């Protein structure tokens, strides 16, 4: 099982749609969770941290389910500028020598 697995994508959605990305992780000792956004040929940029109680930042909502080792990202009212690859990232204190483990990413295209 891969350490971090994401929906394969790509997701092609119209403007204004709500889209959800899912991610599972294998290391139950993982302590920190993040969503990063990466535009084509650019560096990853931190979108938001994910907290146990769930958290929201504008149109973006992140959820964490430790029991199921599952993380989600919900984007409401999609904009054209949301088109990017979304990377699920897990950080484990006991994950050996790998401080941050990235999923392969899910590509989102928002269409006018």
Partner 1 sequence: DAGVTQSPTHLIKTRGQHVTLRCSPISGHKSVSWYQQVLGQGPQFIFQYYEKEERGRGNFPDRFSARQFPNYSSELNVNALLLGDSALYLCASSLGANQPQHFGDGTRLSIL
Q: Give residues in contact with partner 1 (CB under 8 A).
A: 4, 31-32, 34, 42-46, 49, 87, 91, 93, 96-105
C-beta closer to partner 1: residue 92 or 110: 92
Structure tokens at 103: 């999923």
User: Could you give the angle at the alpha carbon of 20 between the alpha carbons of 90 and 52, nearest 5°?
Assistant: 45
C-beta closer to partner 1: residue 18 or 98: 98
Q: Least distance from C-beta 51 to partner 1, angstroms?
A: 12
Q: Least distance from C-beta 77 to partner 1, angstroms?
A: 25
Q: Least distance from C-beta 66 to partner 1, angstroms?
A: 17
Q: Which residue has the tokens 């920190």?
A: 32
C-beta closer to partner 1: residue 45 or 79: 45
Q: Least distance from C-beta 111 to partner 1, angstroms?
A: 22
C-beta closer to partner 1: residue 35 or 75: 35
Q: Which residue has the tokens 């119209």?
A: 14
Distances (CA, A) of 96 to 27, 49, 91, 99, 100: 10, 21, 10, 8, 11
């Amino acid at each position: 099982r891969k350490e971090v697995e994401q929906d394969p994508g790509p997701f092609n959605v119209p403007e204004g749609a709500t889209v959800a990305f899912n991610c599972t992780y294998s290391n139950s000792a993982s302590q920190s969770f993040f969503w990063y956004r990466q535009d084509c040929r650019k560096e990853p940029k931190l979108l938001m941290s994910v907290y146990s109680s769930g958290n929201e930042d504008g149109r973006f909502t992140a959820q964490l389910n430790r029991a199921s080792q599952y993380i989600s990202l919900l984007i409401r009212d999609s904009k054209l500028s949301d088109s990017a690859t979304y990377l699920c990232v897990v950080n484990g204190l006991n994950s050996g020598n790998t401080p941050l483990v990235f999923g392969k990413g899910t590509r989102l295209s928002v269409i006018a």
